[in-house]
Structure 1
Amino acid sequence: MAGETHLTIVGNLTAGPEMRTTSNGGTVANLTIASTPRLFDRDSGQWEDGETLFMRCSAWDSTYSPMASNIQASLAKGMRVIARGRLEQRSYQDRDGNKRTVVEMRLDEIGPALTRNTAQVARNGNGQQSQQWGGQQAQAPAARPQDPWGGAGNDDPVF
């Protein structure tokens, strides 16, 4: 949609995803990504950590994508991830009646950062994917197809 602020962030999860079910039955995963830039100080000749950004993120299950459930099954505290989404701002009243405003990222995609990790992607039973993270596997991988991009031996797209 026009006017949205899209963002890509690379960082580590500060805690495991928190799952919540809303009063209308929706499922959401909330998580925080800590992203710390590395800056080169020419005077000292050393790399130094910059100011850490803590980005609160949310992902929802939908009828076509169990994203929140896949995140909860695949991600854990400390994992390095790459996330893409849209910044959203919302206001609410706290328990004391004060108006608060928060900015958070609504996730469109999230996955492992492969600079320091390995991952093996496997499809869930419903066609969605889960990840295996450096020896930790959330779900048993399905059998791999011979050619995931091809059709029945021709160049016709499978979609």
Structure 2
Amino acid sequence: MARFTVAATPRMFDKTRNEWVDAEAMFLGCTVWRQAAENAAESLTKGMRVIVTGRLRQHHWTTDNGEKRSAFGLDVDEIGPSLRFTTARITRAARGTGTSRPADTPAPADDPFSVPAGTAPGAGPDLTAPPF
């Protein structure tokens, strides 16, 4: 399991000042589980722009003073780096070993689930090379 906070800061154009300004930031606590947590911890760093999808949840609790509180959080399904201002090299995590190999490296021959890209039933095109 990994816990982290994602900040979302919308930008708005201020016509009176003729410039972009940051609106109020929103901070959302996130929790990711299992292998995705390991991969996120190995791949992402503080301050990195990320894309996160998941299920929004609301926690309720009562403080020691008897005040009722609540907060929102996100149970993460998918997380990865944003490619808006950066590039990324993808490596595939090997099953059960915690190690990784480049995405264009074929799976081990003894992998019963290994199928060449684009040949599995319902598979789309081979996207290992850019389309341009």
TM-score (norm 2): 0.71
| 1:68-117 deviation line (CA, Å, top 9, x unaligned) | 11111111111110111111012235566654322101111111111111
Are the equivalent residues in 1 in contact too, given 2:57–2:75 (CA < 8 A)? yes
Q: Relative contact order (C-alpha < 8 Å, sep 6+): which is higher?
A: 1
> Per the alignment, in what secondary structure is the counterpart of residue 68 of structure 1?
helix
Q: Which has the higher strand share?
A: 1
Tell me whether 1:56 sits opposite 2:29 in the alignment: yes
5 Å matches for 1:1-16?
none
What residue ranges of structure 2 are gaps of 5+ in the alignment? 107-114, 124-132
Tell me, in whole angstroms, the C-alpha distance in 2 between the residues paired with 1:56 and 1:82: 14
Classify 1:44/1:99 alpha carbon distance in 2 versus 1 (closer, same or farther; 3 Å). closer
Tell me, in whole angstroms, the C-alpha distance in 2 between the residues paired with 1:52 and 1:121: 30
Classify 1:45/1:156 alpha carbon distance in 2 versus 1 (closer, same or farther; 3 Å). same
Tell me whether 1:32 sits opposite 2:5 in the alignment: yes
| 1:27-49 deviation line (CA, Å, top 9, x unaligned) | x2100011111100111111111
Tell me, in whole angstroms, the C-alpha distance in 1 between the residues paired with 2:116 and 2:40: 23
Name the Cα RMSD after superposition: 2.8
Classify 1:70/1:96 alpha carbon distance in 2 versus 1 (closer, same or farther; 3 Å). farther
Tell me, in whole angstroms, the C-alpha distance in 2 between the residues paired with 1:55 and 1:144: 36
- Identity fraction in percent: 39
Equivalent residue number for residue 150 of structure 1? 118
Classify 1:140/1:60 alpha carbon distance in 2 versus 1 (closer, same or farther; 3 Å). closer
Tell me, in whole angstroms, the C-alpha distance in 1 between the residues paired with 2:80 and 2:55: 16
Tell me, in whole angstroms, the C-alpha distance in 1 between the residues paired with 2:81 and 2:45: 11
Equivalent residue number for residue 19 of structure 1? none
Tell me, in whole angstroms, the C-alpha distance in 2 between the residues paired with 1:47 and 1:84: 27
Equivalent residue number for residue 89 of structure 1? 58
TM-score (norm 1): 0.61
Equivalent residue number for residue 80 of structure 2? 111
> Per the alignment, in what secondary structure is the counterpart of residue 31 of structure 1?
strand
Among 17, 32, 39, which residue is 1:70 paired with?
39
Are the equivalent residues in 1 in contact too, given 2:13–2:19 (CA < 8 A)? yes
| Aligned residue-pair number | 114
